[in-house]
Chain A
Amino acid sequence: MAKLTKKTKIEMLKKLIEIRRFEERTIQLYQNAKIWGYLHPYIGQEAVAVGACMAIERQDYIISTHRGHGHCIAKGADLRRMMAELLGKATGYCKGRGGSMHIADTELRMLGANGIVGGGIPISVGAGFGCKMEGKGNVTICFFGDGAANNGVFHESVNMSAIFKLPVIYICENNMYAISMCSTDSIACKDVGKRSCAYDIPGYIIDGSNPIEVYKTVTKAVKHARDGKGPSLIEAKTYRFFGHHPNDPATYRKKEEVEYYRKEKDPVANFKNKLLEEKIINEKEVKEIESEVAKKIEDAVTFAEESPEPELEKFLEEVKQI
Chain B
Amino acid sequence: MSGCPGSRTIDFSEKEEQGESESGKRQSQLRQWPLQLHLVSPHAPYFQEKDILLVADCVPFALADFHKDYLKGKSIAIACPKLDSDQEVYIEKVKSLIDDAKINTLTVMIMQVPCCFGLVQVAKGGAEKATRKIPVKQVVVGIEGGVLSEEWI
Co-complex (A, B): no
Taking Cβ atoms with an 8 Å cutoff, the residues of A that contact B are none
Taking Cβ atoms with an 8 Å cutoff, the residues of B that contact A are none
